[in-house]
Amino acid sequence: MAGAEGDDSLYPIAVLIDELRNEDVQLRLNSIKKLSTIALALGVERTRTELLPFLTDTIYDEDEVLLALAEQLGSFTVLVGGPEFVHCLLPPLESLATVEETVVRDKAVESLRKISQEHSPVDLEVHFVPLVKRLASGDWFTSRTSACGLFGVCYPRVSIMTHTFESTLITAVMHFRTLCSDDTPMVRRAASSKLGEFAKVLELDYVKSDIIPLFTALASDEQDSVRLLAVEAGVSIAALLPQEDLEDLVMPTLRQAAEDKSWRVRYMVADKFSELQKAVGPEITKNDLVPAFQNLLKDCEAEVRTAAANKVKVFCESLPEDSRETIIMTHILPCVKELVSDTNQHVKSALASVIMGLSTILGKDNTVEHLLPLFLVQLKDEYPEVRLNIISNLDCVNEVIGIRQLSQSLLPAIVELAEDAKWRVRLAIIEYMPLLAGQLGVEFFDEKLNSLCMAWLIDHVYAIREAATCNLMKLVEKFGAEWAQNTIVPKVLGMANDSNYLHRMTTLFCINALSEVCGQEITTKHMLPVVLKMSTDQVANVRFNVARCLQKIGPVLDSSALQAEVKPVLEKLATDQDMDVKYFALEAISGMYLFNLPTYIFSETFSFSSILFFFFSFSLSP
Amino acid sequence: METPTKLPPSSPSSPTTGFSVPSAEKVDGFPRRSMRRARQRRSHSSSQFRYQSSQVELTPLPLLKDAPVAELHDLFCKKLQQCCVLFDFLDCVADLKGKEIKRAALNELVESVATSRGVLIEPLYPEAIKMISVNIFRTLPPSENPEFDPEEDEPALEASWPHLQLVYEFFLRFLESPDFQPSLAKRYVDQKFVLQLLELFDSEDPREREYLKTILHRVYGKLLGLRAYIRKQINNIFLRFIYETERFNGVAELLEILGSIINGFALPLKSEHKQFLVRVLIPLHTAKSLSIFHAQLAYCVVQFMEKDATVTEHIIRGLLRYWPKTCTQKEVMFLGEIEEILDVIEPSQFIRVQEPLFKQIAACISSPHFQVAERALYFWNNEYILSLIEENCQVILPLVFGTLYRVSKEHWNQTIISLIYNVLKTFMEMNSKLFDDLTSSYKLLLHNNVDLITK
C-alpha cells in the first residue's frame, strides 16, 4: 500500500521532468506553465526540497521557457509554504536574473521584487540582501544590470531592523555607487534608470550627500544613452528635495541636459517636461523652465520639437496662475506661432493635437485674436493628419468661442479630408462627423455635410462604407427619427435598386443600423418592404444578407408583420439553392424563435428536416 | 603578438557611388516623394547645432607647395585651423566661397600628407587631431525613417560629405603616412577619441562607414595600447544591439574589422576572446537584420574555428540553440554558415556534434519551404562533408533516413524529390546493408502505424 502511494505521489513530478526534457519546446513550455499545479500536487515540503532544486539546475533552456519560469516563480510563495519559506525561491530566480536575454532577466527581477515584499525584515536581511550584493558584484554585466533594479525594493524594509540598518544602508549605497560607474554602459544605463527609485527610499540626507553626486556623474556620462536615462532620475530626485536645495543640487545638471549636444537627451527632457515642472515648483518654472521650454520648441531636431509641442497645453495649464497669461502670451505663443508653419509634419501634427486646448486657458478674447488664426492655418495644412487633429479637438474651442467662428474654414478642410486618397484619413474624419454635426447644427449639416455622409456609403473601401453606416446611426440619434425619414432614409432605400450589388448590400447594412433608432413605424412602413423585395435579388450575398437583416430588425417589428410578411420570405429563403442563404435564413428563423415567437419552430409549414439541417449547421459553425 | 591582417580590398578612396542618386519614384502607389521632401527640409535645420560657430569669413592662404620650407609647417598648421570652420551644407548656396576655400585647403592637406615626407612633425599632431575631431564627431541626426530597413530603403546621406570625405581621407593618409609615429599620436588618439569614432559607425551613410572601417583598422593596427579598449567597446556596441536596441548601422563594418583581428589572435585563445565568441558573436545570430551582416559574421565564426578547433562544439550548439523557428530566409543563412563551418571542421569535432546537427538538418529537409530543404540537401554535394557523413554513416543515416524516405514521397516540389533520390542513392552506395535494414524497419513501422489507424 505504502509503496503504491509513493509511486502515485511521484507521478506528477515524473511527468513534469519527462516533459521538461522533451525535445519539443512547446511541451516544455506547457509543463512550466503548469508548474503551480504540480507544486500543489507535490505539497510544500517536496516543492521546496525536490522541485526547486530541480528547476534551479535546468536553467539552460530556451529563453521562452525561462521567461515562463521566471514569471511563475513570482507567484510561488504560497506553494513553498508561505512567507516563512519564500527565500527558497531566491536561488532559481538569481540564476534567471543573470541570463543574457533582457526579457527573461527583467521578468526575473520583477518576480524578485514581488517576492521581496513577502520576506520578513529578518529574512530580507539574511537572504535577500546578500543576493543583491552577489548580483551587484557579478562577473558578467547581466547580473549587475539586474542588481540595479533590486536596491529600491529591499532597503526600505530592512530599515525596520534598526540595529543593522546603518551599516546595511552604507554598503547598499556603496554598491550602487560602484554600479553607477561600471565599465559597461549597459550597467550604467540600468543604474541610471533605477537611481530615482533608489533615491525615493533613502533619507533626505543620503539623497543629498550620496545620490546627487551619482546623478551628476550619470548625467554627464560619455554615452548619451546613459545621460538620457539620468533625466528621469533627475525629475524624481527633484521631487524629493526641498525647494531651497533644488537650485544648487539639481538645476545646474538639468539645465545642462536641456542643452545637451545629443538630441536624444534633449528629447528626453522635452518628454518629461510636465513631470519636471511639477517637481521643481512654480518659481523655478518661471525663471528656468520657461526659457528652456522655448528652446526646446525651437530645437533644431524635429524629434525634440515634436516632443515639446506635445507638452504645450499641459505646460501652460500648470503654469502658476498669477503669471500664466503673461507667460503664455509673451513667451510661449510666439514659439507656437512658428511651429504652426514648421517644416516637419510630425511637429505640426503634435501641435495640432494640443493647440486647441490653449483656448480654455486663454479665454474668449485671446482665442479669437491670437489662436483662431493659427487654427485656421492648421486647418489648411498640407498634411491631412494636422487638419484631422484640429478637427478632432474642436470640442475644446466650441466651449470657448463656439464653432461657428471656424465654420468657413472648417468646411473646405472637412471636404478635403472626406475625399482624401488614403482611406484611413477618410475613416478618421467619419468618426468625427457626429461630433461636428452636433456642434454645427442640423441646418448647416443638411446644407453642407449631408451629401458627404451619403457619398461615403458608396466608397470603394469596405471599412469606409461600414463606418459610414455607423455614422448614420449616430446622426439619427442626434437629429431624431423624423429628420432621418426626411433626409437619409429615402436615399438609403434608393440604393436598393443600384446596379452594383455592394451598394445594394450597403442598403441592408444601413437598415441594420438604423432600424432601432428610427423606430417601429419607419422600419415597418418604409424599410421592410424594400428588404423583402430584395429577397429575390439575383446575387446570393444580397439574399443571405436579407436573411440576416430580417433577423436583425425582427425585434423592432410587431408580431403581425413578422408572421404575415417576414415569415414567408424567410421560409422561401430557407429553401434557396445557395447553401449560405439557406444557412442564414434558418439562423434567422431560429433567432426570431428565441425572441418572440415561441411556437414558430413547430409550425406545420416548417419541415422537420430543415430543423435538423439547422442544428447540424449550427453545430458546425464556430 | 596579435597582428591584424589586411582588410579585404575595398578602396575607401573610391567608395560606392550607387547611393547618391535616388532611384526613380517607386510605382507602387505609395510615392516616396513626400518623405524625401521632408528629408530635405528637415535637414535644412538639423545642422544648425553644429553650424553655430561658423560666422568666420575664410580668406585663401598661399599654396603649400609654394611655401618656403621654413614656413611650411606654420602654413600647414594655419590650414588645419582653417579647416576647423564648419559650413552649412543643407543650404547649398550658403557661403559658397568659404566652402570652396576649405575644400581646396583640405585637398592640399591630403595631398601634402600623402606625398611629401617630413611634414608630420610633433606640433602638428594635436592640430591635426583637433581638426579631425571638430569635423567628424557629431551627434548623428535622428533617422528620418523610424522603420529604416537597410535592405529596402535609401540611406540618408550626409549632406556635408564634400568636406567630410576629404577630412576622412586626410585622417587615413595621416595614419598611413610613413612619418606617422604612434608614440606621438597616442596622446591625442585616446580612449575618448576612439569611443566617439565607434559611435559614428551608426551613420546611415555607407560611404562614411566605409572610411571609418579602414580608419579604425589602421588605428587598431598602429596604436597597440588601444586594442583591448577597442575590442571591449565593440563588444558593448554589439551587446546593446542584440539585447537593447536592435539598431546599429555599422555592424557589418565592425565585424569585418573583427574578422581580421580574430585572424591575428595569438594561441592559445585567451578566455576573453572565447567569451566574445560565445556571448557576443553567437547571439548576434538572433538579430532581426541578420541578412545585412551575415557574411561578415560567418567569416568571423569560421576564423575562430580555424584558430582553435576546440570552439567548434560551442559554435554548432550555439547555432542550433538560436536556430530560426519561423524565418525561412534566416534558416537558409544558417544552413549556409553550417556548410562553411563543416567545410573546415575537424573530424574529431564533427563526431561531437553530429547527432544534434543532423537532427536539425533532417528537420530542414522536411521544411515545406523548398529553399530551406534544397539548401540542406546541397550538403551532400560537398565532397568533404560527404566524406564526413560516410565515415559516420552508422550514426547519421538512422537520424535522417525516416525524414528522407517520408519527404521523398510527400514533398510538393519536384526538385526536392529528385535531390532526395540522389541523397538516398548516395547512402545506398555508402552502406547498402544498413540502408536495407533501415528501409525494411521503416516499412514495418509504417505498416504497423497504418494497422493501428485502421483498427
Query: Per-domain residue ranges for chain A?
Result: 262-401
Angle value at C-alpha A526, between A523 and A528, nearest 5 degrees? 60
Q: What is the mean pLDDT of residues B134-152?
A: 80
Q: How many Å lie between the alpha carbon of A301 and the closest alpha carbon of chain B?
A: 6
pLDDT at B454: 59
pLDDT at A421: 84
User: A225: which chain B residues are within 8 Å (Cβ-Cβ)?
Assistant: 240
Reference B376, options B394, B390, B388, B363; nearest CA is B363
Is the pLDDT higher at B219 or at A603?
A: B219
Which 307-366 residues of chain B touch chain A by CB within 8 A?
321
Q: How many Å lie between the alpha carbon of A536 and the closest alpha carbon of chain B?
A: 40
Which of B197-208 are b and which e, b meaning 16 or more Cβ less than 10 Å from the residue's Cβ? Answer: bbbbbbbbbbbb
Which one-letter DSSP state was computed for residue B431? -
- Asked if omega into B324 is within 30° of 0 (cis), the reply is no
A64 in contact with B, Cβ within 8 Å: no
Q: Coil, strand or helix: which one is B110?
A: helix
The reply to whether residue A301 touches residue B240, judged by beta carbons under 8 angstroms, is no
What is the four-CA torsion angle of A463, A466, A470, A475, rounded to 10 degrees?
90
User: B271: which chain A residues are within 8 Å (Cβ-Cβ)?
Assistant: none
pLDDT at B452: 63
pLDDT at A194: 92
Q: How many Å lie between the alpha carbon of B28 and the closest alpha carbon of chain A?
A: 14
Q: How many Å lie between the alpha carbon of B178 and the closest alpha carbon of chain A?
A: 33
Give the ipTM of the model, two decimals please.
0.78
Q: What is the mean pLDDT of residues B436-440?
A: 87
pLDDT at B372: 95
On the question of pLDDT at B16 being above 50, the answer is no
Which one-letter DSSP state was computed for residue B309? G
Q: Is-contact A592 A556, C-beta < 8 A?
A: no
Which grid coordinates are listed for A118?
Answer: 513577502
What is the four-CA torsion angle of A76, A77, A78, A80, rounded to 10 degrees?
80
Q: Is-contact A253 A218, C-beta < 8 A?
A: no
A302 in contact with B, Cβ within 8 Å: yes
On the question of pLDDT at B409 being above 90, the answer is no
Which 360-419 residues of chain A touch chain B by CB within 8 A?
none
Which spans in A126-272 are helix H? 129-136, 141-148, 151-158, 162-180, 185-201, 204-206, 212-219, 224-240, 243-249, 251-258, 263-271
The closest CB to that of B139, out of A62, A189, A263, belongs to A263
Angle value at C-alpha B190, between B187 and B194, nearest 5 degrees? 150
The reply to whether residue A102 touches residue B44, judged by beta carbons under 8 angstroms, is no
Mutate to test the interface with A, among B34, B49, B202, B282 (most CBs of A within 10 A): B49
Residue corresponding to grid cell 534566416: B330
User: B279: which chain A residues are within 8 Å (Cβ-Cβ)?
Assistant: 100, 140
Task: Report phi then psi at A259, rounded to 5.
Answer: -115, 20
Residue corresponding to grid cell 428536416: A609
Count of C-beta atoms within a 10 Å radius of residue A223: 16
Is the pLDDT higher at B91 or at A596?
A: B91
Which grid coordinates are listed for B185?
Answer: 599620436
Is the pLDDT higher at B39 or at B145?
A: B145
Instruction: Write out the H or E segment, with its range, that includes residue B349.
Output: helix B347-365
Q: Which CATH architecture has domain A262-401?
A: Alpha Horseshoe (1.25)
Q: How sure is the predictor about B12, in pLDDT bands with cuts at 50, 70 and 90?
A: very low
B7 in contact with A, Cβ within 8 Å: no
The reply to whether residue A262 touches residue B139, judged by beta carbons under 8 angstroms, is yes
User: B46: which chain A residues are within 8 Å (Cβ-Cβ)?
Assistant: 300-302
Which grid coordinates are listed for B391?
Answer: 565515415
d(CA B169, CA B162): 11
User: B139: which chain A residues are within 8 Å (Cβ-Cβ)?
Assistant: 224, 261-264
Angle value at C-alpha A396, between A391 and A399, nearest 5 degrees? 125
A262 in contact with B, Cβ within 8 Å: yes
Nearest residue on chain B to A383, alpha-carbon basis = B34
Q: How many Å lie between the alpha carbon of B38 and the closest alpha carbon of chain A?
A: 7
A421 in contact with B, Cβ within 8 Å: no
Q: How many Å lie between the alpha carbon of A211 and the closest alpha carbon of chain B?
A: 26
The reply to whether residue A345 touches residue B46, judged by beta carbons under 8 angstroms, is no
Q: Is-contact B300 B262, C-beta < 8 A?
A: yes
Mutate to test the interface with B, among A222, A300, A345, A461 (most CBs of B within 10 A): A300
User: How far apart, in Å, are the Cα atoms of A259 and each of A150, A269, B51, B448?
Assistant: 32, 9, 15, 77
The closest CB to that of B46, out of A100, A262, A301, belongs to A301
Which one-letter DSSP state was computed for residue A1? -
The reply to whether residue B240 touches residue A300, judged by beta carbons under 8 angstroms, is no
State the average pLDDT for chain B: 83
Give the distance between the most distant pair of CA atoms in chain A.
Answer: 93
Q: How sure is the predictor about B55, in pLDDT bands with cuts at 50, 70 and 90?
A: low
Q: Is-contact A118 A79, C-beta < 8 A?
A: no
A300 in contact with B, Cβ within 8 Å: yes
Q: How many Å lie between the alpha carbon of A63 and the closest alpha carbon of chain B?
A: 10
Q: Coil, strand or helix: which one is A603?
A: coil
pLDDT at A444: 80
User: A139: which chain B residues are within 8 Å (Cβ-Cβ)?
Assistant: none
d(CA A314, CA A273): 9
pLDDT at A455: 87
B243 in contact with A, Cβ within 8 Å: yes
The reply to whether residue B192 touches residue A224, judged by beta carbons under 8 angstroms, is no
- What number of H helices and E strands is found in chain A? 45, 0
The reply to whether residue B244 touches residue A302, judged by beta carbons under 8 angstroms, is no
pLDDT at B357: 94
B139 in contact with A, Cβ within 8 Å: yes
The reply to whether residue A344 touches residue B321, judged by beta carbons under 8 angstroms, is no
Which of B86-103 are b and which e, b meaning 16 or more Cβ less than 10 Å from the residue's Cβ? Answer: bbbbbeeeebeebbebbb
Angle value at C-alpha B332, between B329 and B334, nearest 5 degrees? 110
User: B283: which chain A residues are within 8 Å (Cβ-Cβ)?
Assistant: 100
Which spans in A220-371 are helix H? 224-240, 243-249, 251-258, 263-271, 273-284, 290-297, 302-310, 312-317, 321-327, 333-340, 345-354, 358-366
User: A345: which chain B residues are within 8 Å (Cβ-Cβ)?
Assistant: 38
**Which of A191-200, B252-261, B364-373, B430-439 has the weakest average pLDDT?**
B430-439
Nearest residue on chain B to A104, alpha-carbon basis = B243
Which one-letter DSSP state was computed for residue A24? -
The closest CB to that of A102, out of B45, B49, B243, belongs to B243
Give the distance between the most distant pair of CA atoms in chain B.
Answer: 105
B195 in contact with A, Cβ within 8 Å: yes
On the question of pLDDT at B383 being above 90, the answer is yes
Reference B61, options B91, B104, B99, B90; nearest CA is B104
Ranges in chain A, pLDDT < 70: 1-13, 16-17, 58-60, 159-166, 403-405, 593-622
On the question of pLDDT at B39 being above 50, the answer is no
Question: What pTM did the predictor assign?
Answer: 0.78
Q: How many Å lie between the alpha carbon of A102 and the closest alpha carbon of chain B?
A: 6
User: How far apart, in Å, are the Cα atoms of A21 and each of A58, A108, A412, A530, B242?
Assistant: 9, 22, 67, 65, 28
d(CA A220, CA A260): 9
Mutate to test the interface with B, among A64, A99, A100 (most CBs of B within 10 A): A100
User: What tens digit of pLDDT does each residue of B100-126 get?
Assistant: 888 999 998 998 888 888 788 888 899
